[in-house]
Amino acid sequence: FAKQNGRNQYAFYFEELESDSKRLLLLESELRKAIQKKEFTIYYQPKVSIEKQEIIGVEALVRWQNEKLGFVSPGEFIPYAEDAGLIIPLSEVIIEKVCLDIIDWRNKGILNLLVSINIASLHFQQDDFIERINSILMQYNCSPRQLELEVTERTIMNDTEGIVEKLIKLKNMGFKLSIDDFGTGYSSLSYLNRFPLNYLKIDGSFIKQITSLKDKQAIVDCIILLAHRLHIKVVAEGVETKEQVKLLKEMDCDIIQGYYYSRPIPSKELLDFFELWEIHQKERNVL
How far apart are CB 94 and ligand C2E at their closest, in Å? 4
Amino acid (1-letter code) at residue 195: F
Closest Cα to residue 234, out of 192, 198, 270? 198
Q: What are phi and psi of 216, to 5 degrees?
A: -65, -40
Binding status of residue 118 toward ligand C2E by CB under 6 A: yes
How far apart are CB 175 and ligand C2E at their closest, in Å? 15
Binding mask 203-242 for ligand C2E (x = CB under 6 A): -x--------------------------------xxxx--
3-state SS assignment for residue 112: coil
Binding status of residue 259 toward ligand C2E by CB under 6 A: yes
Q: Do 106 and 136 contact (CB within 8 A), yes or no?
A: no
- Considering only residues 144-183, where is the footprint of Mg ion by CB under 5 A? 150, 180-181
Closest Cα to residue 70, out of 28, 27, 18, 33? 27
3-state SS assignment for residue 254: coil
- Residues ≥6 apart with Cβ < 8 Å to 210: 216, 217, 220, 244, 247, 248
Q: Which of 30, 148, 153, 181 binds ligand C2E (CB under 6 A)?
A: 181
Binding mask 133-162 for ligand C2E (x = CB under 6 A): -----------------x------------
Distances (CA, A) of 230 to 20, 153, 191: 46, 16, 11
Q: Which of 133, 220, 264, 270 binds ligand C2E (CB under 6 A)?
A: 264
CB atoms within 10 A of CB 20: 10
Q: Rule CB under 6 A: which residues touch ligand C2E?
A: 45, 60-62, 73-75, 78, 91, 94, 118-120, 150, 180-181, 204, 237-240, 258-259, 264
Q: Rule CB under 5 A: which residues touch Mg ion?
A: 118, 150, 180-181, 237
